[in-house]
Structure 1
Amino acid sequence: MQNRLTHEGSTFINFRKYTFRDSRSPAYRWVDIKCLRLPVESVGDRDLLGALIGHEQFRDDYAGGGVLKEGLRHGPYWLGAVTPDVYKAVGREEGDQVLWEWANQFEDVPADLARDLQREVFDRLAAADQIYRLGELGEEALHDWGGVHCDFHEFVLIDRSAGQIALLVAADD
């Protein structure tokens, strides 16, 4: 299945590229979105999550190294600790709330960043048929330097009408 998910592209929103009112406002925040084409045949959500986890694009530690084909890390976690069962279905409202609160935690984001977040993040949440959120995996799942992220929010958005699954990560470092 994993080879039937085709990486279509990625979007990276770096908060450092925007001007905040308070220059002390932490700007080491970003959103990374990886979009993959769904297979033609109908596949259940758990199988899609498994295929995503098995895909090369999932092997990203989100700490500057990018995607590593033979990587053993995913965000702050050991890759082997991430399974379809650790994702929980959530509603659009929960996704919106978590991500807006995270983005605005120090001050309201600038208008141009809010527009970009709306287009790239919140419009995708609104279009998704199903939204899954990565749950807390515990200390034993953290890899050797997994505590580098202050916050790490991960959502998987399945949009069957668009034929796409998106891996959305919003984090601080």
Structure 2
Amino acid sequence: MQNKLTHEGSAFINFRNYRFQDSRSPAFRWVDIKRLRFPVESVGDTELLAALIGHEQFRDDYAGGGVLPEGLRHGPYWVRAVTLDVYEAVGREKSDRILWEWANQFEDVPSDLAADLQREVFDRLDAAERIYYLSELGDEAIHDWGGVHSDFHEFVLIDRSAGQITLLVAADD
């Protein structure tokens, strides 16, 4: 299944590109969205998650290094530490709450940023049939310089009607 996922595109929302009341608010917050297409034949969520973890787009340290096809890091974690059992199925309400609280933690986001987040993040959450949230993996899973992320929220969205799996990462660094 791994080689059957096709990277369709990405979006990146950098909070620094928006005007906040308090200039310290945006800090270094951003959202990275990677969209991958999967074949129409029916496969289970477990198989899709495994294919995503094995895909080269998953090998991104989210700290400026970009995607490294043979990379050993995923966000703050060693890739080997990210397994199927560390993803928790969550509902839309919980995902919305986590992401809005994170986005508004210092002050309410400006209306233009809220509109972009709605389009790129929350509309995708609404369309997803299943949402998985990456649990915190603990200190032993954090790679050699993984502490650069002060907050790291990862969601995997499965939209079977669109044949799409989306890797959504919201973080601070």
Q: TM-score, normalised by structure 2?
A: 0.99
Partner of 1:96: 96
In the aligned structure 2, how far is the partner of 1:112 from the partner of 1:26? 14
User: Which runs of 5 or more structure 2 residues have no equivalent in the other structure?
Assistant: none
Structure 1 runs of 4+ off > 6 angstroms? none
Distance (whole Å) between structure 1 residues aligned to residue 24 and residue 35 of structure 2: 33
Q: Structure 2 CA distance, aligned partners of 1:52 and 1:157? A: 11
The corresponding residue for 1:122 is 122
In structure 1, the residue corresponding to 2:154 is in which secondary structure? Answer: strand
User: Would you say 1:76 and 2:76 are equivalent positions?
Assistant: yes
The number of equivalent residue pairs is 173
* CA distance in 1 between partners of 2:112 and 2:57 (Å): 28
Structure 1 gap segments, 5+ residues each: none
Q: Name the SS of the counterpart of 1:89 in structure 2.
A: strand
Q: Distance in 2 between matches of 1:24 and 1:88?
A: 33
Give the Cα–Cα distance (whole angstroms) in 2 for the partners of residues 110 and 166 of structure 1. 25
Counterpart for residue 147 of structure 1: 147
Q: Which amino acid aligns with 2:169?
A: V
CA RMSD in angstroms, aligned pairs only: 0.6
Identity of aligned residues (%): 82
Counterpart mapping for 1:25-44 below 5 A: 25-44=25-44
CA-to-aligned-CA distance 1:4-29 (integer Å, 9 cap, x gap):
00000000000010000111224310
Aligned residue number for residue 158 of structure 1: 158
